[in-house]
Amino acid sequence: MTNLSTNANEPRPGQSQASPEVDLRVQLGRLTLRNPILTASGTFGYAREMAGLVDLSQLGGVLPKTITLAPRAGNTPWRTVETSAGLLNSIGLDNDGVDAFIAGHLPYLRTLDTAVIVSIAGKSHEEFVELAKRLEAAGPGVAALELNISCPNVTGGVDFGTDPMACHAVVSGVRAATSLPILAKLTPNVTRIVDIARAAADAGADAVCCINTLLGMAVDWRKRRAMLGNIMGGLSGPAIKPVALRCVYQIASTLNIPVVGIGGIATMDDVMEFIVAGASAVQIGTANYYDPTVSQRLVEQLPAALAQIDCRSMASATGCMLTQRASSNPIALQPSATK
């Protein structure tokens, strides 16, 4: 069965994850998802690689590896280094370019019975716009676009995500170029992430995704050199979850735009923490490397978790911590770090 429209990702009769008792559907602006469990770009290949391990139709959506206008060879090895509580990566957006994606990967992706959200990155405003136009013209199979304006591993990769005006320009340019729903992926490497999220919302983004990786590095002191070929890379995994939760909370408590939580999510406790803090959906990233079936398992566990907090729908659970705090202490929702 092929899922062609942005609202086609509906529960199917007999599906356990969307029973009459618990409604797992999620609305991200104009994008409807069957459930809130997504796979993060760059950690799930082009989905085909995982088809033998995961029932892709059970997921809320998949995000293939980020694509660029022209092919990219990526960064010099080493590209990954394991840390004590996560993973440093400096892949450098290695990919074959949009034309190869449309010809070689999109035909398979459009056969999947789940939302396919295509992650795009550009070196300029014009490249983002051109990518959006190419994917719009490619026909059915793309449910939405994720704008990767926050990659720390390429030259200029975070420029659009660290300046509100640049963010607004890119999102508004893509908005004018396509009718597809837009998700803007934000970097935590800023002073006030709410300002960037507000710019994306004002420019027409349907949702924001936060966070991308934190800039970090690893050193081999015996050889007196950086372990990554690019010296610095992006830190992901359990170590960044508290930062990601803070960013989700700050945005959700300040702006009226759906938030997709990303960062250190591997268990149902992780998922529920993001949901009650204000995330409408979540992306599973680093955990896919060591547990490729984790996303499907989380979908199966979600109804029972929602029942534990007396919620019969994702809509009633999303941000319920914010509602509870607001009713008991209106000042508590101020996003400042100190008082």
Q: What is the mean pLDDT of residues 164-176?
A: 97
- Number of domains observed in the structure of the chain: 1
Give percent of the chain above pLDDT 90. Answer: 86
- By annotation, the residues acting in catalysis are 151
pLDDT given at position 1? 37
With respect to residue 5, please indicate whether it lies within any of the assigned structural domains.
no
- Is a pLDDT exceeding 90 seen at residue 301? yes
pLDDT given at position 299? 98
With respect to residue 144, please indicate whether it lies within any of the assigned structural domains.
yes
- Is a pLDDT exceeding 50 seen at residue 337? no
- Is a pLDDT exceeding 50 seen at residue 3? no
Is the distance from CB of 181 to CB of 205 less than 8 angstroms? no
How far separated are the first and last CA of the chain, in Å rounded? 54
pTM for the model stands at: 0.91
With respect to residue 9, please indicate whether it lies within any of the assigned structural domains.
no
DSSP string, 253-319: TT-SS-EEEESS--SHHHHHHHHHHT-SEEEE-THHHH-TTHHHHHHHHHHHHHHHTT-SBHHHHTT
Is the distance from CB of 89 to CB of 82 less than 8 angstroms? no
CATH number at residue 85: 3.20.20.70
With respect to residue 91, please indicate whether it lies within any of the assigned structural domains.
yes
- Is a pLDDT exceeding 80 seen at residue 84? yes
Q: Which has the higher per-residue pLDDT, 157 or 254?
A: 254
Print the domain residue range for 126: 16-333
With respect to residue 113, please indicate whether it lies within any of the assigned structural domains.
yes
pLDDT digits (tens, 9 = 90+) for 221-265: 999 999 999 999 999 999 999 999 999 999 999 999 999 999 999
What does DSSP assign to residue 75?
P
pLDDT digits (tens, 9 = 90+) for 185-220: 999 999 999 999 999 999 999 999 999 999 999 999
E strand map for the chain: 26-28, 31-33, 37-39, 61-62, 80-83, 86-89, 115-120, 144-148, 182-185, 207-210, 214-217, 219-220, 225-226, 232-236, 259-262, 281-284
With respect to residue 110, please indicate whether it lies within any of the assigned structural domains.
yes
- Is a pLDDT exceeding 90 seen at residue 159? no
With respect to residue 193, please indicate whether it lies within any of the assigned structural domains.
yes
pLDDT given at position 20? 53
pLDDT digits (tens, 9 = 90+) for 268-282: 999 999 999 999 999
With respect to residue 2, please indicate whether it lies within any of the assigned structural domains.
no
